[in-house]
Structure 1
């Protein structure tokens, strides 16, 4: 059974249109979540909004959004005023341009969504756009009113459908110059660079998301299980400190370690091949 769509509308490129459904591609709903309890009673506690000056609880009907215009000065905005100011969505995902797939910096990526045709009548138009983008190796930049905000999206072919990633606005992305302002220009060359390149080469692999485990989730799940069974869980031992005294020594030790690991892996593969039964000649 197909999941429930988060949004439905029309994907539009010039005069070409297709009815589409948008689905959440990544969700945090499966993560372990905690409730806050009263230690004495074991009951859940509830949050309240408290007046910062009087210290008294504020009833929901008395709560209103405010925009700060100065220190301690606010403009109150009613919910219907905010709703009236937001442009109405025409449910159109309008493609503005086609660009190279790698033209957008990763820091602009926000949330991924799946796009699929929502009815058979426009599947051909959807497929035409998808395959055209795949053939030209391009992505589409589009705009739409999503969840009460005008959003820009980058759309790319993916299997039988499309992936639409919402993009951060320019003002939301901080300048890298600020983060890297204190990084010195260090020249790396000679043996150190050779060793670094060797380590990278021997540890080169492929991205497989199934190989990455959420150790926090696993640790919390083990803790909960131990508590239910009345066992005491032992904390993991800290990583032992090494006796390496310099960056060059660390690189040399790392290179030796990767060489040993590679040799061990090759040996196991060779043994497995030797033990494998040979097919009988017919």
Structure 2
């Protein structure tokens, strides 16, 4: 079954324009999810909004959005007022610039989407932009009104299509400098640095999402299946506590566990050296 497009519009690059469809690239639909039930009756329960002062239920047609200007003081906004204030979508992704693929810090990435041509008659135009980006090894920055918000979108080539990330605004991303300003900066050198580099080399690999599973979902799926079958599951053993007397000892133990020879003793340096029940399996075929 073909995925359903979450947005349809047009990519515009100068005078070139062609229709595209945008598809959600990630989904939570396969995660284990729960309903809230009444323990005594087994019936589902529903949420209600309660007035904080009167403690009476507020029906949907009486609910409005409010922006707090001071403690317990609000500006009330009706849905019609919000709709009028939000920019209308012209259904256009306007490419404003091309940048190196690595130019945007990953903390700015929000949600991923796939983009494909929505009309075969314009497949050549789509392919022209895609292959031009591939040859130049660049990404595109575009602007559009998506889901009633003006968004900046980063487009990159992936296979025969494009993958798009909506980007967080600058005010939405916290300062890394503030997060790390109190961190100490010890000088790491000598045997410790050599051991760390050795461990990293022996652990070198490639990213394959099929190698990583959702242990929480798998454990809950197994629990549900066990309850359906009327059996108990054995609780996993807690991890063994690791006792390490020092950072250097920890590095040595890790190097020994790699199964390779420990690096040669470091030379002395004159100066310092410069991170049903749900299915248990969540893996998808590549």
* TM-score, normalized by the shorter chain, greater than 0.5: yes
- 1:144 matched residue in structure 2: 144
Q: Which residue of 2 aligns with 1:246?
A: 246
1:185 equivalenced with 2:190 (yes/no): no
Q: Helix, strand or coil for the counterpart of 2:204?
A: coil
Partner Cα distance (2:226, 2:186) in 1: 49
- Take 2:201 and 2:18, find their aligned partners in 1: how far apart are those partners? 46
Residue by residue over 1:194-233, the C-alpha shift from the partner in whole angstroms, topping out at 9 and shown as x without a partner, is 0000000001001100000100000000111111122222
Gaps of 5+ in 1: 262-282
> How far apart in 2 are the matches of 1:54 and 1:189?
66
CA distance in 1, matches of 2:26, 2:232: 35
- Give CA-to-partner distance per residue, 1:124-176, whole Å, 9 cap, x none: 11100000000000000000000000000000111011011100000000001
String of CA shifts for 1:25-44, please: whole Å, max 9, x gaps: 01111111111111111111
Give 1:11's aligned residue. Answer: 11
Q: Partners of 1:245 and 1:234 in 2: how far apart?
A: 33
* Structure-1 residue corresponding to 2:99: 99
Tell me, in whole angstroms, the C-alpha distance in 2 between the residues paired with 1:29 and 1:84: 33
Alignment partner of 1:22: what SS? strand
Q: How many residues align?
A: 261
Deviation of the 1:177 alpha carbon:
1.6
RMSD in angstroms over aligned alpha carbons? 1.2
| Mapped partners of 1:188, 1:92: distance in 2 | 51
Q: Which moved more, 1:67-76 or 1:243-252?
A: 243-252
Aligned pairs (5 A) from 1:26-41: 26-41=26-41
Name 1:62's counterpart in structure 2. 62
- In structure 2, the residue matched to 1:79 is 79
Distance 1:49 1:39 in 2: 22
Residue 132 of structure 2 is matched in structure 1 by 132
Query: Any idea what SS the aligned residue of 1:259 has?
Result: coil
**Per-residue CA distance 1:74-119 (angstroms, 9 max, x = gap):** 0111111111111111111000000000000000000110110111
Structure-1 separation of matches of 2:233 and 2:74: 50
In structure 1, C-alpha distance between the alignment counterparts of 2:242 and 2:155, rounded to whole Å = 47
Q: What are the superposed Cα offsets for residues 258-282 of structure 1, whole Å, 9 maximum, x if unpaired? A: 1269xxxxxxxxxxxxxxxxxxxxx
Question: Quick one: distance in 2 between partners of 1:243 and 1:141?
Answer: 50
The normalised TM-score by structure 1 is 0.90
- SS of residue paired to 2:258: helix
Q: State the TM-score, normalizing by the size of structure 2.
A: 0.89
CA-to-aligned-CA distance 1:52-92 (integer Å, 9 cap, x gap): 11111111111111111110000111111111111111111
Greater helix share, structure number:
1
